Amino acid sequence: MNKTLKGILIALAIIFVAAAAYVVGRGQAGGQITSVVEFSINVDPSGSFTMTVDRPSASIKRGDPLSFILTAVPTGGFDAAVGLTVGGLPVGSFTLGTDILVPPAYSTKLTIDTTKLVSNTGYSVSVTGVDR
């Protein structure tokens, strides 16, 4: 083997050892190598629930007060919290008493600011409940 090739191989070996020492050194904390694993667990609640509203519709004049009582009705031993989202209304036109229903009450008030609704327009409102 000629001197140039031998010198290149020795230089590469030194670079490799130095790089390996650097990688191992970075993973050490206080002289010990540490490792962390993260994972999630999803526990499905038993039973189920249905959503109800205190009345199916309302006809009002713009500016009149309007509210509905929303209730999650648990069945089969359901005992988890229920998160709510409201659709079909303009942003900023409604408030929920709470957007997460918890046992045992499972109900909240949906208040609609009718001054933020367009006159002569019908709104189809949807409330979605998801177990938390």
Considering the chain, what percentage of its residues have pLDDT values greater than 70? Answer: 77
What's this model's pTM, rounded to 2 decimal places? 0.65
Q: Decide if 64 contacts 83 (C-beta within 8 A).
A: no
Are 63 and 114 spatial neighbours (Cβ–Cβ below 8 Å)?
A: yes
The domains of the chain are located at: 3-33, 48-131
Q: Distance (Å, rounded) from C-alpha 117 to C-alpha 114?
A: 5
Q: What is the pLDDT of residue 12?
A: 41
The whole-angstrom separation of Cα 70 and Cα 49 is: 13
Q: Provide the strand spans (E) within the chain.
A: 28-29, 32-33, 48-53, 66-75, 82-87, 94-96, 100-101, 107-112, 126-131
Question: 33-39 — which CB contacts under 8 Å span 24+ positions?
Answer: none
- Residue 41 has what pLDDT? 84
* pLDDT, position 45: 73
> Which tens digit of pLDDT belongs to each residue from 76-127?
989 899 999 999 999 999 999 999 999 999 999 999 999 999 878 899 999 9
Which CATH number, 3.40.50.300, 1.10.460.10, 3.40.50.2300, 2.60.40.2410, labels domain 48-131? Answer: 2.60.40.2410
